[in-house]
Amino acid sequence: VAGSATSRQPDQRLAGPDASVELPGVTVSSVARGYRERYPDSPLGAQLQLFLDAVTSTHARGFYANLADSLCSDESFAETRDTADCWNGLRVGEYTKTLVRPGVDAQKYNPELTWTESEPDPKIGQLSDKLRHMRQVVLSQLSQTNQLMSDSFVRGEEGSG
């Protein structure tokens, strides 16, 4: 988009603050890997993998945030000489509307978007709280399992017989 000289970075505040407790050596991918190793044929394991793939693909936000700039700077797609004309929403020409940074909170200043401020949906907050709680339970269970395994190793207990 013409006139946009700043690079756009994904807004870290979109996901909200991380209110979870971090456990050393425990990550979401390690939890998923452990579950898949214990239950390789489980449909829940497949669903967990699909969910993790979707979560890790959130880096695609940067792609969409920079899509207009990328297209307009591509010589095979748009004119990049002195005029720097690009698609302005109606025709190839100069884009003269106000540019806003990426992120939901910035879109209220976007002239191309009608913005009606409303109260947040309480269901989203409830689901978010449930997910945080589930994550805490899984991480605490995993931490206890790792602690039990390391204690038995220190005492020299091996095997089941």
Q: Are 73 and 129 contained in the same domain?
A: no
**CA dihedral of residues 22, 28, 30, 34 (deg, nearest 10):** 120
Tell me, yes or no, whether 112 lies in a domain: no
Residue 150 has pLDDT above 70, yes or no: no
Overall number of domains in the chain: 2
- As a whole number of angstroms, the distance between CA 159 and CA 161 comes to 6
Q: Are 68 and 2 contained in the same domain?
A: yes
Residue 2 has pLDDT above 50, yes or no: no
Tell me, yes or no, whether 109 lies in a domain: no
Kindly calculate the radius of gyration of the chain based on its CA atoms and give it in whole angstroms.
24
- In terms of C-beta density within 10 A (0-12 exposed, 13-18 middle, 19 or more buried), how is residue 86 classed? buried
Residue 17 has pLDDT above 80, yes or no: no
Q: Are 60 and 90 contained in the same domain?
A: yes
Q: Are 94 and 133 contained in the same domain?
A: no
Q: What is the pLDDT of residues 28-87, one digit of tens each?
A: 556 566 666 666 667 777 777 777 776 666 666 666 667 777 776 676 666 555 556 666
Residue 104 has pLDDT above 50, yes or no: yes
- As a whole number of angstroms, the distance between CA 143 and CA 151 comes to 12
Q: Are 132 and 57 contained in the same domain?
A: no
Q: Give the domain extent around 159.
A: 119-161
Q: Are 3 and 70 contained in the same domain?
A: yes
Q: Are 36 and 66 contained in the same domain?
A: yes
Q: Are 98 and 129 contained in the same domain?
A: no
Q: pTM of whole model > 0.85? A: no
Tell me, yes or no, whether 64 lies in a domain: yes
Looking at the DSSP bridge assignments, the partners of residue 93 are: 86
Q: Are 131 and 87 contained in the same domain?
A: no
CA 111 to chain centre: 26
Q: Are 69 and 1 contained in the same domain?
A: yes
Residue 135 has pLDDT above 90, yes or no: yes
Tell me, yes or no, whether 84 lies in a domain: yes
